[in-house]
Structure 1
Amino acid sequence: MRRIAPVAAAAALTVLLLAGCSMGSGGESSGYEPAMPAPAEGGDTGQSADEAADADGGSPAATQSVITTGRMSITVDDPLAAAEEAAALADDAGGRTESRTEQPGAGSASPRAELVLRVPADELDAVVDELREFGHVNGVTMNESDVSTERKDLDARIEALGASVDRLELLLSQASTITDLIAIESELTTRQAELDSLTQQRDWLVDQVDYSTLTVELITVETAPDTAPDDFWSGLAAGWAALVGFASALGVAIGVLLPWIAVLLVMAAIVVLVVVLATRGRRRATPVTTPAAPAAPSGPAAPAADPQRPAPSPEDEPRA
């Protein structure tokens, strides 16, 4: 039996390394599970695996896992004070404040606050009901995402890798040569790193399931300041501000209309030019007519005037 034990250990190491290679190339983590032989010290491995399978049916991973996220918007009198109360409310419920942003009122900006609360899933409804009493609720949004499949898959892979790591540690303690020792340590390091990564993913998923995420926005009603002037100087300032505003608006209006005015002027000039040219053309085309001479009076014809004879002077005319 003592001579067979080293041979069995070497065979088990070879099968384990081959199974690890097949798993690293894309196979499931449970692909090497049936190939592992039982330890020589006892035959309890099969019984513990059955017990683990039975226990897995009643584990929390077998139940439904739901991630709940929500958002609330509330109008309150003092957002900063309400933020303090909301953070204390989450602490009292067993949760925590993941992030908090506050903006004090300055100038025309109103104060506001926003908190991201992590509340236990079974206390979420109670916390939301208490937050409703802070002021006027503008809106509430709740979303649920079922991650039961992802959680079961992570639990199965973690369990398989944990068993593989345990068996590699056992083989490492039984290694008799340097070659076997190096090979087992390399495979053990790879499996341990993968196990740690999956464990972190599972822990994050469990935290998201156990603690719901609630974003609370706290705002206040914006109050417009009283701008009515109450003395001479405030009236003067208000008048000057109105004048500057009117001049600014007038400049903007002129700037907007100026391109249109330029286009209209060009169009008007073209129309006037066309009308002038058409009028001149009509004047040139119309013939010039001379007026007709008046008809001569009836009676003896007057002698024709001699163009060489000078016109009679007033002294030459006969006197009556």
Structure 2
Amino acid sequence: MKRTLAATAIVLAALLLAGCTSSGSSDSSGPPVSDGGGVTDGGVSGEPAPDKGVTGGEVIADNRDVITTGTVSLTVKDPIKSAQSAADITQEAGGRVDSRSENPSTDGQPASANLVLRIPADELDNAVIELKKLGTVNKVSLNATDITQQTQDIAARITSLQTSVDRLLGLMAKATDTTDLIAIESALSQRQSELEGLQAQRDYLADQVDFSTISLELYSEGTVSPPNPDNFWDGLVAGWNTLVSALSGALVAVGFLLPWLAALGAVGGVVLLIVWLSTRKRKAA
């Protein structure tokens, strides 16, 4: 009897142990549970989880979208000629000139030129080096703006709207009731308008990312103050140039005022002559 009870106890213990092991294995390796709407914890049922392009919660650096803008200011001998050289450098880099204005020299204004250059992002560094060779650098400023999150959001919204448009087109093909058809057409028109707006925004941002925007300013010599000198000789040269510029400005001012001074002197002389004659007549009387 004791042997029978012992054997029965051993069998029950083995069955309990096997049940616990089977339950633990089922919890750890079983399929994901559906929420009843065809969606599982891995994404839409029957479809792989979308690739979000992230690693450890961060966007992969190689997939970043960056807009680069900047300003390059140069002092050159001939701004008009240098403007053409800058346009040639841009075209050789595979870019384009979006705007260009040239101001030839006049009696009261030195020559200058301004260009807006669109340069491929991967050629920007080399193009800036070539632009610096056109003259003396007054200023170079480059700014980079990361718009990766914005472009990803727009892409996701475009995908969602495109799916909605396709679904509405399918419903429109099957619609038989006039009321339903009108409702579908109204919704479809709204979705297509939103989709076209997002696609235009996506294309604009893609162009800004692919082509950096550089504002190039070209000035004649002596019209822009040079950078602060770094040593004694540079300071001496800068001081001499400043003195010459000041004297030149003073001479121009004197030349401008001389005709006015002469006219005022003549008027003053006539007034003094009238006063003197009037005083002399009174004394004679």
Rate the CA distance shift 1:246–1:192 in 2: closer, same or farther, 3 A: same
C-alpha separation in 1, matches of 2:218 and 2:256? 38
C-alpha separation in 1, matches of 2:150 and 2:111? 42
1:62 Cα deviation after fit: 8.3
1:73 Cα deviation after fit: 0.6
8 Å CA contact 1:69, 1:142 repeated in 2? yes
8 Å CA contact 1:61, 1:152 repeated in 2? no
Question: Percent of aligned positions with the same letter in both sequences?
Answer: 43
Structure 1: stretches of 5+ with no match in the other structure: 1-33, 38-44, 228-237, 252-320
- Answering whether residue 155 of structure 2 is matched by residue 155 of structure 1, we say yes
Match in the other structure for 2:127:
127
8 Å CA contact 1:61, 1:151 repeated in 2? no
Classify the secondary structure of the residue corresponding to 2:94: coil
Letter in 2 for 1:194: E
C-alpha separation in 2, matches of 1:129 and 1:83? 16
TM-score, normalised to structure 2, is 0.61
TM-score, normalised to structure 1, is 0.54
C-alpha separation in 2, matches of 1:122 and 1:100? 23
Match in the other structure for 1:294:
none
Summarize deviations over 1:26-83 as a string: whole Å, max 9, x none: xxxxxxxx9x99xxxxxxx965x648x34x6499998211111010111111100110
Match in the other structure for 1:186:
186
C-alpha separation in 2, matches of 1:114 and 1:242? 36
Classify the secondary structure of the residue corresponding to 2:72: strand
Match in the other structure for 1:28:
none
- Answering whether residue 99 of structure 2 is matched by residue 102 of structure 1, we say no
Match in the other structure for 1:82:
82
1:154 Cα deviation after fit: 0.5
Summarize deviations over 1:276-315 as a string: whole Å, max 9, x none: xxxxxxxxxxxxxxxxxxxxxxxxxxxxxxxxxxxxxxxx
Rate the CA distance shift 1:190–1:240 in 2: closer, same or farther, 3 A: closer
C-alpha separation in 2, matches of 1:190 and 1:90? 41
C-alpha separation in 1, matches of 2:77 and 2:201? 42
8 Å CA contact 1:75, 1:137 repeated in 2? yes
Match in the other structure for 1:146:
146
1:153 Cα deviation after fit: 0.7
8 Å CA contact 1:61, 1:148 repeated in 2? no
Match in the other structure for 1:211:
211
1:240 Cα deviation after fit: 11
C-alpha separation in 2, matches of 1:86 and 1:177? 64
1:248 Cα deviation after fit: 6.1
Rate the CA distance shift 1:240–1:203 in 2: closer, same or farther, 3 A: closer
Summarize deviations over 1:197-243 as a string: whole Å, max 9, x none: 1111111111111111000001111497999xxxxxxxxxx999647
Rate the CA distance shift 1:207–1:240 in 2: closer, same or farther, 3 A: closer
1:179 Cα deviation after fit: 1.7
Match in the other structure for 1:268:
none
Summarize deviations over 1:76-121 as a string: whole Å, max 9, x none: 1110011011111111111111111110000021000000001111
The structure with the largest strand share of the pair is 2
Summarize deviations over 1:171-202 as a string: whole Å, max 9, x none: 11111221221111111111000101111111
**1:38-77 equivalent positions in 2, closer than 5 A:** 50=48, 53-54=50-51, 57=53, 63-77=63-77
C-alpha separation in 2, matches of 1:194 and 1:95? 31
C-alpha separation in 2, matches of 1:198 and 1:46? 29
1:137 Cα deviation after fit: 0.6
1:246 Cα deviation after fit: 7.6
C-alpha separation in 2, matches of 1:240 and 1:189? 68
Rate the CA distance shift 1:248–1:164 in 2: closer, same or farther, 3 A: farther
C-alpha separation in 2, matches of 1:168 and 1:130? 54
Q: Paired residues, what number?
A: 198
